[in-house]
Structure formats: structure tokens, C-alpha cells
Structure 1
Amino acid sequence: MKSPKIRFKEFQNEWNSRILGDICEYKTSNLSNENIEKKGLYDLYDANGVIGKTNKNPQKENYITIIKDGSGVGRVRLLPKNSSFISTMCAFIGKNSTNFLYAVLQNFNFSSYINGATIPHIYFSDYKNAEIRIPNDIKEQEKIGEFFRKIDGILDLENSRFKKLENFKKTMLDKLFVKDGADEPQIRLGSFKGKWNSRILGDIFKERTERSAVGELLSVSILKGVTKFNELNRWDKSSQDKSNYKVVKKGDIAYNSMRMWQGASGLSKYDGIVSPAYTILEPCENTNSLFFSYMFKKDEMLYKFRIKSQGLTSDTWNLKYTNLKSIEVRIPSDIKEQEKIGEFFRKIDGILEFSQKKITKLENIKKYLLNKMFM
């Protein structure tokens, strides 16, 4: 095969074999991490992208960077002109189209050139002679580069929307719940009024202590809350004897006793069983578990969970129900306000989930096209 499986129909010529070092100009930086203010650093270690700009040793045109050692080695990023990169990175300037070169490098298998057991590294000298195939027609290069630039623009827009919605959720978590020392939240939904009541968690939840080996195996994580284990695509390391496993019912809140202070809790939408390492909270009367599932993710609550956890180090901190039940919280006197707040955040999470699926789909489409439009 001397041309890719997918290409623009106006181009018919075969692609030529070249070495990577022939199609780009390689640069290094002597700018250290310490010499760049954080607010001015384009941080490739941040998976979410750019932090800011710096006027120290800026490049005069758009360029491509790759992390050459340490965390994130091999990660490629396109950065705009008038920005700088640090000494743990190297840069490439396209001799023809920078957008095309960026697409080439995203499709290039850097992993096969990474060395180092303790500190992984990758150097230009290791892969500069790697053979690649590219169109001889500069117009085809430019069209491919522009095509992927537009895809990246759509992805950037979707990621920006996702980030804004995440920030909005964080702001509303702060304003729709009562802060320590206050009697009412800053924002109320609907026409609810009046002070929130002070209660201890032991009056709101009791511990579910039922044990059973029968039921669907569930898991609890920081990001996903309570999920079915078979949906995680993980190897099942659970004990074959599950007679001591704990029963979870719909509407319960399950949490990892050793990671509650990090937010490893969630509302269960399922009936099932979990490892004995988890604690199960069964809601008492006039308790909306959805409301509390969001309250338990707030920074103020995570701090309370941390100081109530027992153990000498963070690796051994453990929050049992006997300590959790004495934690004091402020909640609405009207169960309907709890329900409204819980439903408000459930809808936000639904939009976030839809947005994340859209981003993942776009990323998969881009990956597929990179594979089919290059050789």
C-alpha cells in the first residue's frame, strides 16, 4: 500500500517515504521549570491543557512540543506562538505545514522509543531516522493539517464547555449548601426560606449491617460513586467466599472507609453486595440520600471526614460509622428542599456525562481518522 485508506478525492499520487528528521526542525530549551512563573507556563503535564502564557524566550510561530522525560513522556501538544516551553520538553517546527506535522506526530508511535526504567525518557536522536510516509503534494499536506486543526478546534470547544460546567457545579455546591458558621445557604432554589437545622449524621443515617453472599457485586470510587463491578473492565480480585460481604440497597450511600476523606462515596442505584471494606449508610425517615451524596463531596465535609478518620498516616486513615455518626451538618428543615437540591445536581451530572461521552466520541473519531489517513 502506497497511499492511505482514506484521503481527499482530488489527490491521487502515491505517498513518499521520508525520515521524521527531514520534515521538521528540532529545538531544545534551557529554560528551567523554576524560571517560569506558574501563571505563565504552558503546562503539558496538565491533561486539561494550557495554563497560561509567558513572555520569556517565546517562540515566534506556532510549534509542537513533546515531553522528553519524566511524567507524561511522549505527550505531544500544539502550542501557539509567543509562548515558551521548559527544559523537560523539546519543540518541533514544521518545515512545511505545522498543522500537518502535528497530525503526523499524533499518529506516530513514540512509545516504542521510550527508554529508562526509573525515569522514562525519549530523545530526538532515538527516533529522528524513523521512516514515515507523507504526501509529496504540499497542498495535500496542508489540507490534512487543516482538517485535523478543525477537529481539534471542535474538541477544544467541547472541553472548554465541559470545564465551565464543572466550575459551575463547583460554585453551586458552595452556594446551595450552608457554609460553616452560617444558618442559610447563599442561594435558594424555589421559594424555600428559613434557617437550616443542625443535625448529626447518626440521626440521618443508620448503618446497614446485613451480610450476604448473594447479589450483584458493586464497587465504589471517587469519580463514579457506586457502580456495577462488571462495568469497570477490571480483574475481579474479590474473595470467592463472599459470605461476609455487605448488603447494599437502592437509596443507600456506600463509602470506602479508608478513602471517605478523599470522596470515595456514592448513592447506590442498585441492590447488591460490596466488600466488607465499605460502610453502608441506610437513610432514616425524611432523608433524601441524593442530597447527601452531593453534600459528602464538598471540601468542608471531606475535611470533617478526614479529622474523624482514625489511623497514624493517610494510608491507614479509616472512618467507621461509629465516628461518622457524630459529625454535625446543617440541612433544610423541608425534605422538599433536599429533594430539589439533589435533583438540581443530578441534572448537572447528566449534562456532564453527556458532554464527556461526546468528547470521547470525538476523540475516537479523530483517532480512527489519524489511523486511516496516514500510513
Structure 2
Amino acid sequence: MSVEKNVPDIRFRGFNEEWIYRKLQDLTGKGFSNGVFNDPQKVGRGYRLINVKDMYSGDSINVDNLSLIDIEETEFKNNKVEYGDIFFTRSSLVKEGIAHSNVNLSYRNDITFDGHLIRMQPCKITTDPIFLAYLFKTYSARNQFIFGGKTTTMTTIGQSDIAAVELAQPNKLEQIAIGNTFQKLDNLINQHQQKHDKLSNIKKAMLEKMFPKQGETIPEIRFKGFSGSWEEKKLGDIGDTFTGLAGKTKYDFGHGQARFVTYMNVFANAISDESLVEPIEVDDNQNEVKKGDVFFTTSSETPEEVGMSSIWRGDAKNVYLNSFCFGYRPKQKIDSFYLAYMLRANSFRKQVIFLAQGVSRYNISKTKVLDIKTYFPSYSEQEKIGNYFQKLDILIKQHKQQIIKLKNIKQACLSKMFI
């Protein structure tokens, strides 16, 4: 008869011993404790304070962003934070959010923590704090934390509830190997996130500076070799509008050989993502989308989000636009990529927002969009600008895809490398 062993599905070579189940109270060197009273009148100076909001800062607590609190030295010494201390949130509006944890990996000697947190101080002789920090994010750990919460108007958890949680762990050498693996994954995720954010900020700045501001005819930043004023044109003078899907019910969607461009696709992408289309039956009475068409959202909960635009670059037949958007088809030669990003530039967006009307929901009409005046450079300069922003978006998308891929790998490893 075979006996099932307490080992994870994926394991590093050289480790063969079974994992041992231990209660968290047996893994601590100094037990569990609550922190200091966070008096609003004492905030802004003194010692660094780990607060509830700092629990969500990433794979470890970001000590550079901590607030300050002025408390007596005796109180600080009783609640001084050390390297490897792990913290849990004591309450949550929903039970699934209880005992959210994070770890301090800083050696600073001026950090304390808030009384709304529970601190666990692992015994570093037998336990690796980094391993524990990732262990506490697994399904097995989260399930026990949630079970230990007490719900009234909020869900709360106490020191004894956390201490009673029982989890499997290997010897310290294997803990360190596992912890290092997850740290490397998190470092890669952070690197891609930083590059993604940097490129996104560059794009935002260039959308401000590479198109003329309202009342001006020359942009602040321009490619070499181009000069002179841009030409002012009304959108209605260089293109016509068309309607999206009409006369459809919810039963018409989700099946068929045709496709329709979704509202969120238009809202989220300056260049429509051709993979983000939904099935619908072919209907010759509807306006078919063509390459180079621009789509505008007609409604949103805030004026800042109304009239978002996207351009279609696909050649597929039987593609329609959803009924919450309208289409715009240029009748003059305009670079598609230039047009896509010009319509998302600050100078254009400000005009759209100004024209949006509503109270609980904001709307903009086709007529008003066609009356908007904007500026166009020569076709060759349009191409330069369009290509620049297209390349930026490709890089941003690549980093986003890597972030998603690495997060999926991390999630799979949390499932397979722990018991």
C-alpha cells in the first residue's frame, strides 16, 4: 500500500525530506503583537510607521514611503520593527480580505508599526521570513486565515487566530531556495512594471507636446526637418460619420460568423485590437467597418472618459461597430496612426470633454464631434508622428504582456511549490 507523502508537486533537486506541518505559534521567536496607537496629532515627524496602506505596496514593505509618527522612545523600543517581521491586517470589509500580509526586508532601525496590524516575528534560526511571506499568499494559508476571521459589520482576526494556523514547511535550506525563486520572479515583474510605467509617462507627455495646443498652430516638440504652421481643419470637412449596430437584442450576440468591435476595445486602445472582437450574425443592413475607420464612444460616467476614440486597421470582412459608439470615415488622405493619436492628444480631448453633456452620465453627439477643429501637418510629418506613437505602444504592450505572463507563472508556482 502506497503512502502519500507531504511534498509539493514541484521541487528543487537535492531536497527529498517530507514537509512538516507546524502551527505559526511554533515558528515565532518573539510571538505576536499589536502596534502603537496612531494618533493623528502626532503624524508628520518622528519614527517611520508601517500602516495598513503599506501592506499593499508589493512583495515587501516599501520603507521609503512610510509616514512618520512622534511617540515616546519607550513605546518605540517596545514596538521596534526588525528585519523579517511579518505583518497582518486585523480587519476587512469583506472576509476574503482578512489577514492580508506583507514582510519587512529592511534593516533600518527607526521603524515601528500601527496598532491595526498584527506582527509576527519568525524565528530566523529555523525559518526564512521570505519563504513565510510567500507561503502566506498560498491558497492553503489564505483559506485558514479567512476561516479564522470573525464577521459582524466587519471581519476581524486576532493574534490567537493567526497563531493557530497550521502550514507545511521544509527545512530552512529549501525554504531559502523557494524564497529566492519568488524574489527573482517579483524582481522581474517589478522591472517590467517600471519600464511599462516609464514608457506610459513618456507617451502621456508626448501627447501633450507633439500636437499644437488650442489656439496654436505649431507643437512644442517636433521632428527635425519639419517647419511651418499646421493646417486647421474641421473633422466634418474631412470625413463623414456612420452609426454602429442598430436594432439588436442581447440574443443576437455571442454567435455567428461576423464580428463586432466592443465598447471596451474602443475605449482602451488608440489602435483597435483586432483580437478583441465578439461574434454576431452577418447582417447586410448594418454599416460594415473598413480599414482606416475611426470609432468614438458616445457615453460615459465621467466627462473625462466620454468620446474616447480608436482606429481600425484590419482588413477582415463582416466587422461591425457596437451600438454604444459611432464611426468616422476620413474622405481625405490622412495617416491612420497619426489620426489615432491626434484624437487622443490633450488638445483634442479637452474639446471633447468641454462638449460632453449630462448629469449622472455624459454623452456627446456625432454633430458636435464633427464641429471640432484640429490641426494637420504634411502627410510625411503625420507618418513620423504616427510611427513614433505606434512604436511606443508596441513597447508598452510588450512589457504589459510580460507582466501578465510572469504573474501567471508566479501564481502557478504558488500552487505547485507549496503544500
State whether TM-score is above 0.5.
yes
Indicate how the Cα distance of structure 1 residues 241 and 191 shifts in structure 2: closer, same or farther if over 3 A, else same: closer
Q: Paired residue for 1:95, among 115, 123, 128? A: 123
Deviation, structure 1 residue 373: 1.3
Q: Paired residue for 2:416, among 336, 351, 372? A: 372
Q: Paired residue for 2:21, among 17, 20, 27? A: 17
State yes or no: 1:275 paired with 2:275: no
State yes or no: 1:296 paired with 2:322: no
Aligned to 1:324: 369
Is the contact between residue 220 and residue 254 of structure 1 (CA under 8 Å) also seen in structure 2? no
Indicate how the Cα distance of structure 1 residues 132 and 46 shifts in structure 2: closer, same or farther if over 3 A, else same: closer
Deviation, structure 1 residue 231: 5.7
Deviation, structure 1 residue 301: 3.1
Alignment of 1:146-295 (within 5 A): 146-209=180-243, 215-221=258-264, 222-224=267-269, 226-227=272-273, 246-259=287-300, 261-262=304-305, 264-270=308-314, 271=316, 272-295=319-342
Matched residue count: 365
Indicate how the Cα distance of structure 1 residues 87 and 146 shifts in structure 2: closer, same or farther if over 3 A, else same: same
Indicate how the Cα distance of structure 1 residues 80 and 47 shifts in structure 2: closer, same or farther if over 3 A, else same: closer
Mapped to 2, the partners of 1:5 and 1:155 lie a distance apart of 24
- Opposite residue 361 of structure 2, the aligned amino acid is T
Deviation, structure 1 residue 78: 4.0
Aligned to 1:31: 38
Mapped to 1, the partners of 2:86 and 2:341 lie a distance apart of 40
In the superposition, the TM-score normalised over structure 2's length comes to 0.73
Mapped to 1, the partners of 2:309 and 2:352 lie a distance apart of 11
User: How many percent identity over aligned positions?
Assistant: 24
Deviation, structure 1 residue 89: 5.2
Mapped to 2, the partners of 1:220 and 1:128 lie a distance apart of 48
Deviation, structure 1 residue 153: 1.8
Q: Tell me how large the CA RMSD over aligned residues is.
A: 3.7
Is the contact between residue 204 and residue 287 of structure 1 (CA under 8 Å) also seen in structure 2? no
In the superposition, the TM-score normalised over structure 1's length comes to 0.81
Structure 1: any 5+ residue segments left out of the alignment? none
Is the contact between residue 216 and residue 228 of structure 1 (CA under 8 Å) also seen in structure 2? no
Mapped to 2, the partners of 1:298 and 1:45 lie a distance apart of 33
Is the contact between residue 254 and residue 266 of structure 1 (CA under 8 Å) also seen in structure 2? yes
Aligned to 2:72: none
Mapped to 2, the partners of 1:171 and 1:98 lie a distance apart of 41
Q: Paired residue for 2:382, among 338, 343, 353? A: 338
Mapped to 2, the partners of 1:317 and 1:17 lie a distance apart of 57
Aligned to 1:104: 135
Larger of the two Rg values belongs to structure: 2
Is the contact between residue 208 and residue 347 of structure 2 (CA under 8 Å) also seen in structure 1? no
Partner-residue secondary structure (3-state), 1:215: strand
Deviation, structure 1 residue 346: 0.8
- Opposite residue 142 of structure 2, the aligned amino acid is F
Mapped to 2, the partners of 1:34 and 1:70 lie a distance apart of 26
Is the contact between residue 3 and residue 15 of structure 1 (CA under 8 Å) also seen in structure 2? yes
Mapped to 1, the partners of 2:244 and 2:417 lie a distance apart of 57
Which structure dedicates a bigger proportion of its chain to strand? 2
Of residues 210-219 and 200-209 in structure 1, the stretch that sits farther from structure 2 once superposed is 210-219
State yes or no: 1:73 paired with 2:97: yes
